[in-house]
Structure 1
Amino acid sequence: MSPKAKKGKNSITPHLRPVARPRSPTPPESPPPRSLPPETMDVTSIRNELLSALRLDVAAMFKAELREALAETLSSIKTELLAFNTELSSSLSAVRQDVASLKSTVSDVELSLSTCTDDIVALRAKVEHLTQEAAKMEDKCDDLESRSRRQNIRIIGMPEDDPNSASAANVSKLLMEAFSLVKEPLIDRSHRALAPKPAPGNRPRAIVARLHYYNDCNEILRKARELQRITLRNMSISVFPDYTPKTARARAAFTEVRHLLRGIDGVRFGILFPARLRITYAGVQRDFTSPEEAKTFIKTLNK
C-alpha cells in the first residue's frame, strides 16, 4: 500500500507506514521476476502526489486571480455601462424635446403653407384676370391713340435744310402742289418726328402734320396710295397715315408678304386697320392677322 502524504500549508510531509517484510517462500523451481525496490516506488508515488497537489494549488490560485480580475473588469464595465446609460438617457431626453419642438414647428409651417397656398391660388386667379383686363386696356388705349391720329399724316423724305420746312404753312403749300389740290388744306399743326436731328447726308426725320378736316386727310392719303412716291422740288417724298408704334410694327410685318403677292397674277390684297391683310383670289376673300399664315396661303397659290 502506497504511503499517504500529509498536506501542510506550504509543505507536504509524507507519513510512511512500516512495511512488513514477507517471509521468504519456498524457492520455486523457476527464478522469480525482478521488481523495483520499495524506495524507488515510494519516491515515484510521492512525486506524482506532489505534482497533482501542485497542479491543484496552481489551478486554484489561477482561478482565484482570474475571478478577481474578472470581478474588477465586470465592476468597471458595469460602472461604464451605468454612466453610458445615464448619458444616453439624457441624450434621448434632449432628442425627444427637439423632436417635439420640430413637430410643433412643422405643424406651424404646414398651417402657414396651407394659408400661403390658398393665397397663391387666389392671387393667381386675380393676376390672370388683371392680365386679361390689362390686355383689354392696352388695346383700348391703342385704339384711342389711333383714333386721335386719324387726321394726322406722316411725310417722309423732306430735307431739313430749311428750318421752316416743317411749318404748317410750308407743309400746306407742299401738299397742294404735290396732290394738285384746289386750295391749300388747313393744317392745325405740324412738326418733325420726336427724334435726334440726323447728321448731314443721313435720312431726314419725318414730318407729322394734323389736318383740320378729316375729308382733306382722307383725300390726300387716297392720292398718296395711287401715286406712291412723289417727285417735287428736286426731292422725292411719300405720305403715309400716322399710326401708333404698335400698329406700325404689326403692319410692317406684312411687307415681305406684299412683295410676294405682287408677283402673282389675279391676286388683290390690302391691309385693313389695324393690321389685317386681306387677300382676294378667284373671287375668294381671306383675311390674315399673321404673316406666317399668309405665306402658307401664298405657297398654295403658287402650286
Structure 2
Amino acid sequence: MPPKTIKPAQHLKPSGQMEEEGKVLASKKLAEPQSEDNAATNDDILRAVQSLREDCSKQFTDTMDAINGIKSDLLSQAQRMGAAEERISQAEEDVIALQHKVNKLEETTEFLRNKVQDLEDRGRRSNLRLLGLPEKMEGSNMCAFIENFLPTILRDEFGSPPVTERAHRVGQVNPNRPSTPRAIVIKFLNYQDREKALRAARKMKELRYEGQRISLFPDLSAETRQRQRQFDGVKAQLRGMGIRYGMLYPAHLIVTHAGQQHVFKTVAEADDFVRSVRTTA
C-alpha cells in the first residue's frame, strides 16, 4: 500500500491583516457602479414610501375631520343640555308654584264643600225623617195624614196639631226588598213643632203604629249621614254595654257614663273609650 501524501501546512494570516483586507474589499464594492436592478428597487421603495405618506396624510386628515365633527356634536349637545337644564329648572319652579296653588285650591274646595254641606243641613233643619211606615198607609194626602199621625203616636205632645209644609216619600220602591217601606221626609212649617216631635220621640224611645215599629230622625244631608254612620260600630258596642249615647251635629258622638258626658269627634277616640271602659269594668 503506497504511503499517503502529506499536504504542506498552510500559513494562517494574522487577524489584523484579515481585517484590513476586508475593509479594502468592501470599499471596492462600494466604488463599483450599482446595477439597474438595484436602482429599480430604490425607486420602488421611494414610491412606496411616498404612497404610504399620502395614505397616512389622508387618514390623518380624515381622523381630524372626524374629531372636529365629534367636537362640534359635543358642543351642540352641551348647548342643548344647558338649554334643557334651564327648562327643567324653570319647570320645577313652575311645579312648585302650581303645587302651592293646588294646595290653596284644595283648601278652598274643602271649605266650600263644608259650607255647602252646612247650608244643605240648615235648609233641612225643619225636616224630620220617618222610617218604618208601611207603603200606601198615608192615603192620597200625605200632609193631612202626618198632621193627624204625629199627635197620635206621640201621645198628645202637641197642644195643637202641627202644620206641615210638605211631606213625601223618598226614592223608589226597592224591587229586591218590596216589603221595606220608603222613608218619609216631613217639612214642618214651624221649627218648634219639629223640635217637639223629635224630643217626644227620644223620650218615648220606641214608637209603634198599628203594630209597626217606626222611627223619627233629623233629616240631614247625605255627607253628614255618611260621617255619622262611621260611629255605627261603636254605637252597637255601647248598646251592648248599656251605655247611653247620642249624636251631635254634624258628626260627634256624645256618651254618658258614670254621671259624666264625653264627646268624641273621631271613631278612634270612641274606640279607645270603649276599650278603657271594658278594661276597668
Aligned-pair Cα RMSD in Å: 3.5
Equivalent-residue separation in structure 1 for 2:214 and 2:51 (angstroms): 110
Question: Any idea what SS the aligned residue of 1:298 has?
Answer: helix
- Report whether the alignment pairs 1:91 with 2:63: no
1:279 aligned onto 2:251: no
Unaligned runs of 5+ in 2: 9-28
Q: Which residue of 2 aligns with 1:160?
A: 135
Report the AA paired with residue 132 of structure 1: E
Percent of aligned positions that are identical: 28
Show the counterpart of 2:113.
138
User: In the alignment, residue 114 of structure 1 is paired with which amino acid?
Assistant: S
Displacement of 1:127 after TM fit? Answer: 1.6
2:11 aligned partner: none
Higher Rg of the two aligned structures: 1
Q: Kindly indicate whether residue 189 of structure 2 is the aligned counterpart of residue 217 of structure 1.
A: no
Partners of 1:72 and 1:159 in 2: CA distance: 119
| Greater Cα shift, 127-136 or 165-174 | 165-174
Change over 3 Å in CA distance of 1:72–1:184 after alignment to 2: farther
* Contact 2:138 2:145 survives alignment (8 Å): no
Find the residue that maps to 1:78 and give its secondary structure. Answer: helix
CA contact (8 A) 2:244 2:256 kept: yes
Question: Which residue of the partner structure matches residue 239 of structure 1?
Answer: 216
Give TM-score, length-normalised by structure 1. Answer: 0.71
Task: For 1:284-295, list aligned pairs within 5 A.
Answer: 284-295=260-271
**Alpha-carbon offset, residue 221 of structure 1:** 1.0
Question: SS in structure 1 opposite 2:269?
Answer: helix
Q: In the TM superposition, what whole-angstrom CA distance separates every residue of 1:132-188 from its partner, at most 9, and x where no partner exists? A: 222122111111111111110111122224684672222222222221334331111
Contact persistence 1:261–1:298 (CA under 8 A): yes
1:148 to 2:123 alignment: yes
Comparing both chains, which one has the higher relative contact order based on Cα–Cα distances under 8 Å and sequence gaps of 6 or more?
Answer: 2
- Alpha-carbon distance in structure 2 between the residues aligned to 1:211 and 1:124: 47
Alignment partner, residue 204 of structure 1: 181
Shift of 1:120: 1.7
Q: Distance in 1 between matches of 2:41 and 2:124?
A: 114
CA distance in 1, matches of 2:54, 2:172: 93
**Cα distance in structure 2, aligned partners of 1:66 and 1:133:** 98
Q: Displacement of 1:248 after TM fit?
A: 0.7
Partner Cα separation in structure 2 for residue 66 and residue 204 of structure 1 = 121
Q: How far is the alpha carbon of 1:69 from its aligned partner?
A: 7.4
Task: Point out where structure 1 has 5 or more consecutive residues left out of the alignment.
Answer: 1-30, 37-55
Specify which of 259, 265, 272 is matched with residue 296 of structure 1.
272
**Cα offset, 1:96, TM superposition:** 2.2
Partner of 1:34: 6
Deviations 1:217-245 (A, max 9, x none): 01111122233442213433211110111
Moved more, 169-178 or 68-77: 68-77
Shift in alpha-carbon separation, 1:125–1:81, aligned structure 2, 3 A = same
Q: Decide whether the 8 Å contact of 1:257 with 1:295 is kept in 2.
A: yes
Match of 2:168, SS? strand
The more displaced of 146-155 and 232-241 is 232-241
Give me the whole-angstrom Cα distance separating, in 2, the residues matched to 1:225 and 1:86.
102
Give the CA deviation at 1:201.
2.7
Task: Identify which range, 61-70 or 106-115, moves more after superposition.
Answer: 61-70
Residues 166 and 192, structure 1, Cα contact 8 Å, conserved in 2: no
